[in-house]
Structure 1
Amino acid sequence: MDAEEILARFDREIRQHPLEGPGAAVEREPGIVRVVTADDGWTGITWTDLTGLDPAAVIAAQVRRFAAAGVPWEWKLYSHDRPADLPARLLAAGFEPGPPEALLAAEVAALPQEVQLPEGVHLVPVTSAPEAELLVSVHDEVFGGDHSAIGRAVLARPDTVRAVVAMAGDRPICAGRIEFHPGTAFASIWGGGTAADWRGRGVFRAVVAHRAALAAAAGYRYLQVDASDDSRPILKRLGFVQLATTIPFVHA
């Protein structure tokens, strides 16, 4: 797999052409692609290349635009975005960086797709409100905060989002979702957080394999993920390759 080629394709197909949907509008101007969502969906900047532009003026314009939108947002910065000093410029403009994550990708056909679960664990697809509540509960437990918006999004977009919960008896111990990007070569996986007492027992790997099988069945060539420090080593052992690093910058 040619990492540079796949990164260029990811930029072109996903970052520069994010999906529009109910309540979500894609806006473009020189050097910037952003998504503005009216409800509780994701809002922010997906692509940046300020080569030949005045970075300070562009940054100020984005702050004004999102202030007018009146919703929380992030500038999703990637390590190859330009100019190279953009992180420092965002810090100087009052942005605060979140935890860095690794942008990973893999050929779907090369990933394990056989689901192997520990004894007593089974997978439950998220297709209704009760399963969405299970997904939210395990995300809240593992990641902290309130993830009810994710539960609503999964139910609202059944054609492009699928989610699954790993259950140990009647207890949710892991959950993750896959998002399909029609017209592109990419599907992406999100979540996958596992309860602390179930880590290291293959549940996370099984949930990845389940979603890789869904991507294969839907005809996608690549599977992409923004990986934390905890999940990155596992995903690399499964066959994922790091393409870049991404950091969410939030305006204070």
Structure 2
Amino acid sequence: MTEHLDPDAMLVAYDAQLRAHVPPVLPAGVTAEHDGPLLRMVGFDHGGFVVPYRDLSGLDSAELDALIARQRDFFAARGERFEWKLYGHDLPADLPDRLIAAGFEPEELETVVIGPAAPLARPPVLPEGVTLREVSSRADLDRIAAMEEAVWGEDRQWLAEGLEKEIAADPDSVTVVVAEADGTVVSAGWVRYVPGTEFAGLWGGSTLAQWRGRGIYKALVAYRAIRAVERGYTYLQVDASPDSRPILNRLGLASITTTTPYVWSPAE
């Protein structure tokens, strides 16, 4: 399937349509603002983030360092952590070094993968005893957060809070799906529909360790692909972890670039 995709063309479309895209309806308390070539998002429960236009090489060294410092100082004044979303094809090439020098720390590298939605929009195949269900209530979102905490070993309550606000602001912008077995959430994922673009984004996809390797992740992809196609979206986009990327590549999504969160946090 990936042989029909032009990764270079997909990267151009991704940059043009998704980077610096601002949803038409933002969750309560969230604001979006531009600072030169950066989009800055403020007010999320898990901190803010900035997304640069991919080529900052037009700025001289002093201007670039000042731009970075300005973001750090803005969030420092709020006492808030934030993420600078750095892509593998971003310029200038020494941008990672400049972020580290400004006090940012890189987190795990992910791969941006893109593929056509229609071939994946097939009835999900699930192991015996597992069912899929769309959810939106806070109780179900809390169950997703608890599952994520079991998978990652860290607090994920911000996830339930963020999804609740997102759904309240624009219920048609996201579909949240859980995989359940005997009343337990064993996996979950959501699809965000990006208006004015050809893309729907797949997020989540964490699965309890004892339920991995049974096709649940693929079933969640298929279910969300169906919903994306129903709404007229052509492509699926995922920021894939090292565990998910091989599965998605086998399903026909092409790797087009990488992304690394560079995170700045206020001093304890």
Find the partner of 1:219 among 198, 215, 232: 232
Find the partner of 1:125 among 127, 134, 142: 134
Partner deviation per Cα, 1:141-199 (whole Å, 9 max, x = no partner): 11232222222333332221211111111121111111111111111111101111111
1:60 positional shift: 1.2
SS in 2 for 1:165: strand
Find the partner of 2:216 among 194, 203, 227: 203
1:212 positional shift: 0.8
Q: Which residue of 2 aligns with 1:180?
A: 193
**Are 1:138 and 2:144 matched, yes or no?**
no
1:79-118 equivalent positions in 2, closer than 5 A? 79-118=88-127
1:152-191 equivalent positions in 2, closer than 5 A? 152-156=161-165, 157=167, 158-191=171-204
> May I ask how many residue pairs the two structures share in their alignment?
251
Instruction: Determine the C-alpha separation between the residues in 1 that align with 2:172 and 2:68.
Output: 35
Instruction: Determine the C-alpha separation between the residues in 2 that align with 1:69 and 1:188.
Output: 29
Q: Which residue of 2 aligns with 1:52?
A: 58
Instruction: Determine the C-alpha separation between the residues in 2 that align with 1:181 and 1:130.
Output: 26
Find the partner of 2:34 among 22, 28, 33: 28
- Structure 2 unaligned blocks of 5 or more: none
Determine if contact 1:124/1:131 at 8 Å carries over to the other structure.
no
SS in 2 for 1:122: strand
Deviates more, 1:6-15 or 1:228-237: 6-15
1:112 positional shift: 4.4
Find the partner of 1:8 among 6, 12, 22: 12
1:107 positional shift: 1.0
Normalising by structure 2, what TM-score? Answer: 0.88
SS in 2 for 1:237: helix
Instruction: Determine the C-alpha separation between the residues in 1 that align with 2:198 and 2:76.
Output: 34
Q: Which has the higher contact order (CA 8 A, sep 6+)?
A: 2
Deviates more, 1:58-67 or 1:225-234: 58-67
Alignment-mate amino acid for residue 45 of structure 1: V
Question: What is the root-mean-square deviation of aligned Cα atoms in Å?
Answer: 1.6
Q: 1:225 to 1:142 in 2, by over 3 A?
A: same
Of all paired residues, the percent bearing the same amino acid is 43
1:42 positional shift: 5.3
Partner deviation per Cα, 1:75-129 (whole Å, 9 max, x = no partner): 0100111111101111122110000000111111122432110011101211212
Q: Which residue of 1 aligns with 2:251?
A: 238
Alignment-mate amino acid for residue 43 of structure 1: G
Q: Which residue of 2 aligns with 1:76?
A: 85
Alignment-mate amino acid for residue 14 of structure 1: L
Instruction: Determine the C-alpha separation between the residues in 2 that align with 1:166 and 1:63.
Output: 39
SS in 2 for 1:159: helix
Deviates more, 1:194-203 or 1:60-69: 60-69
- Structure 1 unaligned blocks of 5 or more: none
Partner deviation per Cα, 1:12-54 (whole Å, 9 max, x = no partner): 22212232513222221332222122x4165211224312213
SS in 2 for 1:114: coil
